[in-house]
Amino acid sequence: MKKKWLSIPAMLLVMFVHSQTSLQKLYPVNFSDVTISDAFWKPKMQTVATATIDACIRYTQDKTGRIRNFEKAAQRSGRHEGIYYDDSDVYKAIEAIAYSLKNYPDPALEKKTDEWIEKIAAAQLPDGYLNTYYILTDINARWTDMEKHEDYCAGHLIEAGIAYYNTTGKDKLLRTAIRFADHIDTVFRLQNRPWVSGHQEIELALMKLYHFTQKKKYLELANWFLEQRGHGHGRGVIWDKWGRADYCQDSLPVKDQRKITGHAVRAMYLYTGAADVAAVTNDAGYITAMDSIWQDVVFRHMYITGGIGAQGSNEGFGKPYVLPNATAYCETCASVGMVFWNQRMNMLSGNARYIDVLERSLYNGAIDGLSLSGDRFFYGNPLASPGNYMRSEWFGTACCPSNIARLVSSLGNYIYGSSSDAIWINLFAGSKAAIMVNNSKVDINMETNYPWDGDIKLTVAPAKKQHFNLHIRIPGWLTAPVPGDLYRYADEEKAVPEIQVNGITQKYDMINGYAIIRRNWKKGDRVTIHLPMTVRRIVSNPAVKQNENRVALQYGPLVYCVEGIDNQPGTGSIIIPPGTTFETVFNPSLLGGVNTLVFKAPVVTIDKEGTAVSTVMKKITAIPYFSWNNRGASDMQVWLPSAVKKISLNE
């Protein structure tokens, strides 16, 4: 079939056309224009390309009925296997495969994916509807329960269709997705038939489709979905049986919302979609709402790991400042959602504080969800464990594996940004990028050992000598663990970053967390950035009772934990008093190569008779939080006591 779609460079042009009228301050440089060579991320991307995607295929096609559901739906007969939202896992796996194929071409994997796509397309009904649960159970019941994830699955289909087209140029899945999007538009927006998505996701997907096709109806449909919320239209199990509109952020119209409520992943996807819409429509209502909600999340509800959603009961948010550690839910998908939402907030505002939060969620809460081997996954990411919690091969509800796979394989999306007259450095990872500034290409090469140290070298090569601004994010962790007063460093320490261009130290303006270097750039200009990294002790706002009398350790963007296997079972009896000194030791043979924190600490010990308690100084090793539980079951703690007052495994 003849391709009518825009090429990727043409899409970028479209984004810049929007930029003239949009509030949006910068645009992400697409991962396909970024080649990652980073010692930290590249092995993870390679592992996803092989082990993680293999696991997704094994469980999607062989060990569960997800692909069989499409085969049966194409025949319009057979028993539906699994859960009503399982189609979404197939789409998310294809999206991850699409990104991964761009990084690591693999004809056999592409062939397998093409076979899946044939089956998916064959299952679609003539009117564009596509959901194996309703096709195989009762098609007359479709679109009756707003919780049943039909639109959520459609959203993931759209994202997968675009990603697969962008990598392969093959449009079968994209056309299938567009037929489904058009069906939804016809059934709902064009008839103004109320529909509150029970699990948001379609909004952000429709915005991708809008940018891809430039068809305004998809923007209008995304906005229509947002506007459905908060008017009492919700029907289905969430509303009728549970009476919980706040669970899916439907108690108030989105623009009137000021506090975070309910299910964490639903919330993240909703606000990502709202930010996407606001970036095009400049709707101040969404921006005001999201500023307030973001502050509520970061100032009162976020774990030090960037994980969110403290409670398992609603897979989401509880009361402010209630952040239990051992039972922290912190779903991997919620941290992935934090990455999405904070990226959009950064693009809208040009403020680096959102990247500070994105980085925290990415390097800690999100990648903790993936084992070093790539084939084991955490669904929840607690901050303390008695030693009985392990990553799993798969889950009944298997949203997390493919979500972390698609995030890691598209990591290049988050490193650089661009605007009409500037290049923005958001994350620090060894990479090469081709970035358009003032319609002229600039090649950037970044070399760094981050997050193991804070030295970064950039080589800038504009196609021709050119004036533009380089916005370098100065990480917030240099001065405070996170924006707001939920956490603070226990000690004052002046950490002054240094930037040189061609060996000359620069004075620079700081705007919204970015150092701005204004200059006529020429090929071969070298920028060096030094971000002092030391071990910092973090204390919580006293309102967080669970962390009372406790400290956490951080080095650069990484939160650390103490695992029993490196020390002794009973990590809860290790005390970190004020004045503890830490040595940072890179261990190339541990956990794929990590910086460990080594220190002497008093450990509460009970004598053989069990009658006398004393403290004994012991050598303790802390490891990055994301790397725990890769050597079998072991107890673990992030927040350790700072004095002998109350010693127990952290709640």
Q: How far apart are CA 155 and CA 149, in angstroms?
A: 10
Strands 466-473 and 422-425, how do they pair?
parallel
Amino acid symbol at 532: P
From residue 299 to residue 318, what is the string marking binding to ligand FUB with x (rule CB under 6 A)?
----------------x---
Shortest distance, position 370 Cβ to Zn ion, whole Å: 12
Let me know how many helices (H) and strands (E) the chain has, helices first. 16, 23
Q: Does 85 bind ligand FUB (CB under 6 A)?
A: yes
The nearest distance, CB 51 to ligand FUB, in angstroms, is 23
Q: Are 360 and 305 in contact (CB under 8 A)?
A: yes
244 CB neighbour count, 10 Å cutoff: 17
Distances 249 to 263, 334, 402 between C-alpha atoms, Å: 8, 15, 24
Q: Which of 29, 399, 407, 527: binder of ligand FUB (CB under 6 A)?
A: 399
Contact track, ligand FUB, 233-272, x by CB under 6 A: --------------------------------x-------
| Rounded distance between C-alpha atoms, residue 137 and residue 150, angstroms | 13
Within a 13 Å sphere around the CA of 599, how many CA atoms are in the beta-carbon half?
24
Binds 246: which of Zn ion, ligand FUB, none (CB < 5-8 Å by kind): none
For ligand FUB, the nearest residue by Cβ is 265
Binding of ligand FUB at residue 148 (CB under 6 A)? no
366 near ligand FUB, rule: CB under 6 A: no
Are β-strands 431-437 and 440-448 bridged in parallel, bridged antiparallel, or unpaired?
A: antiparallel
Does 328 contact ligand FUB by CB under 6 A?
no
Mark the segment that binds Zn ion (CB under 5 A) among 320-328, 330-338, 388-396, 567-575: 330-338
Tell me: does residue 331 bind ligand FUB (CB under 6 A): yes
Q: Answer whether 181's CB lies under 8 Å from 204's CB.
A: no
Residues in region 441-500 near ligand FUB by CB under 6 A: none
Selection from Zn ion, ligand FUB, none that 38 binds (CB < 5 to 8 A by kind) is none
Given ligand FUB, Zn ion, none, residue 119, with its beta carbon under 5 to 8 Å by kind, binds none
Q: Which of the listed partners (Zn ion, ligand FUB, none) does 614 bind, with a CB threshold of 5 to 8 Å by partner kind?
A: none
Among 397, 438, 520, 614, binds ligand FUB (CB under 6 A): 397
333 near ligand FUB, judged by CB under 6 A: yes
Q: How many residues does the chain have?
A: 651
Min dist. Cβ of residue 399 to Zn ion (A): 3
Which residues, 6+ apart, have CB-to-CB distance to 48 below 8 Å?
Answer: 96, 100, 370, 374, 404, 405, 408, 409
Torsional sign, CA 518, 519, 522, 527: negative
CB of 89 to Zn ion, least distance (A): 10
Nearest-CB residue to Zn ion? Answer: 333
Q: SS3 of 562, please?
A: strand
Which CB atom, from 329 or from 424, has the smaller least distance to Zn ion?
329
Compute the least distance from the CB of residue 412 to ligand FUB, in Å: 25
Cis before residue 451, ω within 30 degrees of 0? Answer: yes
Please name the residue that has the structure tokens 């962008």.
166
C-alpha closest to that of 105 among 32, 24, 156, 28:
32
360 lines the binding site for ligand FUB (CB under 6 A) = no
DSSP designation for 610? S
Q: Give the residue with the Cβ less far from Zn ion, 399 or 425.
A: 399
Binding residue for ligand FUB (CB under 6 A) from 170, 199, 376, 406? Answer: 199
**277 scored as a contact of Zn ion (CB under 5 A):** no
Applying CB under 5 A, the span of 104-112, 294-302, 324-332, 598-606 interacting with Zn ion comes to 324-332
Task: Tell me, residue by residue from 372 to 401, as one string, x for binding to Zn ion by CB under 5 A and - for no binding.
Answer: ---------------------------xx-
Sheet holding 422-425, edge to edge: 27-28, 416-419, 422-425, 466-473, 514-521, 509-511
Per-residue contact flags (x/-) with Zn ion for residues 332 to 361, judged by CB under 5 A: -x----------------------------
Query: Percentages helix, strand, coil for the chain, rounded to the nearest 5?
Result: 40, 20, 40
Distance, CA of 442 to CA of 457 (rounded, Å): 16
The CA distance from 136 to 86, in Å, is 13
CB of 265 to ligand FUB, least distance (A): 4
* Least separation in angstroms between CB 151 and ligand FUB: 12
Give the C-alpha distances (Å, rounded to integers) separating 349 from 93, 235, 287, 293, 522: 31, 35, 10, 15, 29
The nearest distance, CB 338 to Zn ion, in angstroms, is 13
Work out how close the CB of 379 gets to ligand FUB at its nearest, in angstroms, rounded to a whole number. Answer: 8
3-state secondary structure of 334: helix
CB of 538 closer than 8 Å to CB of 304:
yes
- Regarding 93 and contact with ligand FUB (CB under 6 A), the answer is no
Smaller CB distance to Zn ion: residue 226 or 264? 264
Residues contacting residue 468 through CB under 8 Å, at least 6 positions apart? 421, 422, 423, 437, 438, 442, 462, 519, 521
For ligand FUB, how many residues bind (rule: CB under 6 A)?
8
Name the pairing type of β-strands 455-462 and 466-473.
Answer: unpaired
Residue 315 binding target from Zn ion, ligand FUB, none, CB below 5 to 8 Å by type: ligand FUB
Query: How far is the C-alpha of 405 from the C-alpha of 93, rounded, in Å?
Result: 8
Site string for Zn ion, 400-419 (x = CB under 5 A): x-------------------
User: H or E segment at 265?
Assistant: helix 264-281
Note the residues at the interface with Zn ion (CB under 5 A): 331, 333, 399-400
Note the residues at the interface with ligand FUB (CB under 6 A): 85, 199, 265, 315, 331, 333, 397, 399
